[in-house]
């Protein structure tokens, strides 16, 4: 298990004020961040740009030392066991970075495998297995600069698995990919956790992706954790509920309010064009009860749907709550 406790990191930069003057500016990148990445689980770290996600990943992958706090891998401090730690972790970034375009796919994997001091036989076997797995074996001798964006990203995943890591750090892995390739990549990420038992930390701006993949989520802002839990626990902490949204013909709003005044769940009425949209906030929607209620009042239901809370709404709500 990978465990981080009370991580603090700040940066100091200089801003030039004139020819001979400059001003030092200190920014707190992370503040008291603690998290856990268990084997076989996908942990999401969500937040806006500048929230501290990249700094956090750099500390967890030994690329940056925290100012204070500890990071342990199976009880050992990762910064005291650099060589051992780096053999057990790897990182996959979105976009088209971190691979050499003038090398072909096979040469890329051989180069990165050699950085982990893997035996040549092991590199040969893993390169073939990974390139076949990600459907790049037939293209193994083609320079990467001729690859499509999707092929480059699949190669990055293969590169991230060349040392067969126990823990993977995925920084926006589906960034810029088309829908089908992103879907296939999400399936691969699930398999790496559930079938191969790898612990995975995922950062993404695609909230639907986080909802689909993550077993546990940390929402961070300004370098600090605002909320953590399963998505259901986060919704509960923010009092986010399901919404039953139904549309009725435009009628007397006061009468409709009167009808709904005895309703046990919170509601709101919004006038839209020549219709009224009614929203009931409840985690236990009873559609039969709603339909019967309006039928008894001789009010036609033009449309009805149930809307679940989303991580996008949770991210916005947590941000608003932190400002209050």
- Pick the closest to residue 94 from 170, 155, 147, 163 (CA basis): 170
- Strand-strand pairing, 224-229 and 76-77: unpaired
Say if residue 104's pLDDT is above 80. Answer: yes
Q: In sequence order, which residues have a C-beta less than 8 Å from that of residue 21 and are 6 or more positions away?
A: none
Most confident of 87-96, 112-121, 269-278: 112-121
Burial of 124 (0-12, 13-18, 19+ CB in 10 A): middle
d(CA 211, CA 216): 10
Q: What is the mean pLDDT of residues 173-186?
A: 80
Q: Residue 156, Cα to own-chain centre: how many angstroms?
A: 18
All structural domains of the chain with their residue ranges: 2-13+25-237, 243-308
User: Percentage of residues in the chain with pLDDT exceeding 90?
Assistant: 40
For the chain, the maximum distance between any two Cα atoms, rounded to a whole number of angstroms, is 80
Q: Does the pLDDT value for residue 188 go beyond 70?
A: yes
Helix pair 149-161, 105-115: axis angle to 10 deg: 30
pLDDT band, residue 255 (cuts 50/70/90): low
- Would you state the pLDDT for residue 132? 92
Q: pLDDT per residue over 277-303, tens digit each?
A: 888 787 777 778 777 877 777 777 777
Q: Nearest Cα to 188, choosing from 229, 160, 219?
A: 160
Going across the sheet that includes 303-307, the strands are: 267-272, 275-281, 243-249, 303-307
**Domain boundaries 243-308, CATH class:** alpha beta
Topology of the domain comprising 2-13+25-237: Rossmann fold (3.40.50)
The DSSP output letter for 145 is: G
pLDDT for 18 equals 65
Contacts 24+ apart (CB under 8 A), 52-55: 52/220, 52/222, 52/223, 52/224, 53/171, 53/203, 53/220, 54/171, 54/203, 55/9, 55/29, 55/30, 55/223
DSSP 4-66: EEEEEEEEEEEEE-SSS-EEEEEEEEEEEEEEEE-TT-EEEEE--TTSSHHHHHHHHTTSS--
Structural tokens at position 195: 């079938």
CA 127, CA 320: separation in Å to the nearest integer?
47
- pLDDT grade, residue 322 (50/70/90)? low
Measured from the Cβ of residue 182, the count of other Cβ atoms closer than 10 Å reads 18
Backbone angles phi, psi at 15, to 5 degrees: -115, 125
| For residue 106, pLDDT beyond 90 | yes
Task: Give the pLDDT band of residue 96 (cuts 50, 70, 90).
Answer: low
Query: Span 201-227, mean pLDDT?
Result: 91
Q: CA-to-CA distance for 164 and 89, rounded, in angstroms? A: 8
**Which ranges constitute the DSSP H helices of the chain?**
53-60, 82-86, 105-115, 120-133, 149-161, 179-194, 207-213, 231-237, 253-260, 287-296, 311-323
Task: Tell me how far apart the terminal alpha carbons of the chain are, to the nearest angstrom.
Answer: 36
């Amino acid at each position: 298990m990978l465990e981080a406790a009370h991580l603090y990191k700040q940066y100091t930069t200089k801003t030039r004020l004139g020819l001979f003057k400059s001003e030092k500016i200190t920014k707190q990148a992370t503040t008291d961040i603690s998290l856990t990445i268990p084997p076989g689980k996908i942990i999401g770290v969500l937040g806006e740009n500048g929230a501290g996600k990249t700094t956090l990943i750099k500390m967890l992958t030994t690329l940056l030392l925290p100012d204070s706090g500890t990071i342990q891998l199976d009880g050992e401090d990762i910064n005291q066991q650099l060589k051992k730690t780096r053999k057990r972790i790897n990182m996959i970034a979105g976009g088209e970075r971190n691979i050499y375009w003038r090398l072909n796919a096979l040469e890329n994997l051989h180069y990165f495998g050699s950085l982990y001091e893997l035996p040549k036989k092991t590199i040969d076997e893993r390169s073939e297995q990974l390139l076949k797995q990600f459907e790049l074996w037939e293209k193994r001798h083609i320079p990467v600069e001729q690859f499509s964006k999707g092929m480059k990203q699949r190669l990055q995943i293969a590169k991230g698995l060349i040392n067969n890591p126990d823990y993977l750090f995925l920084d926006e892995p589906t960034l810029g990919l088309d829908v089908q390739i992103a879907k296939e990549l999400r399936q691969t990420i699930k398999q790496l956790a559930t079938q191969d038992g790898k612990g995975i930390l995922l950062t993404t701006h695609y909230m639907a992706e986080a909802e689909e993949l993550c077993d546990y989520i940390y929402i961070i802002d300004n370098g600090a954790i605002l909320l953590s839990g399963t998505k259901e626990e986060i919704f509960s902490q923010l009092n986010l509920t399901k919404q039953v949204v139904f549309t009725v013909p435009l009628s007397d709003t006061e009468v409709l309010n009167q009808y709904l005044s005895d309703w046990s769940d919170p509601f709101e009425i919004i006038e839209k064009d020549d219709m009224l949209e009614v929203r009931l906030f409840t985690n236990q929607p009873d559609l039969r009860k709603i339909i019967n209620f309006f039928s008894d009042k001789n009010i036609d239901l033009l449309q009805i749907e149930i809307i679940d809370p989303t991580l996008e709404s949770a991210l916005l709500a947590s941000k608003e709550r932190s400002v209050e």
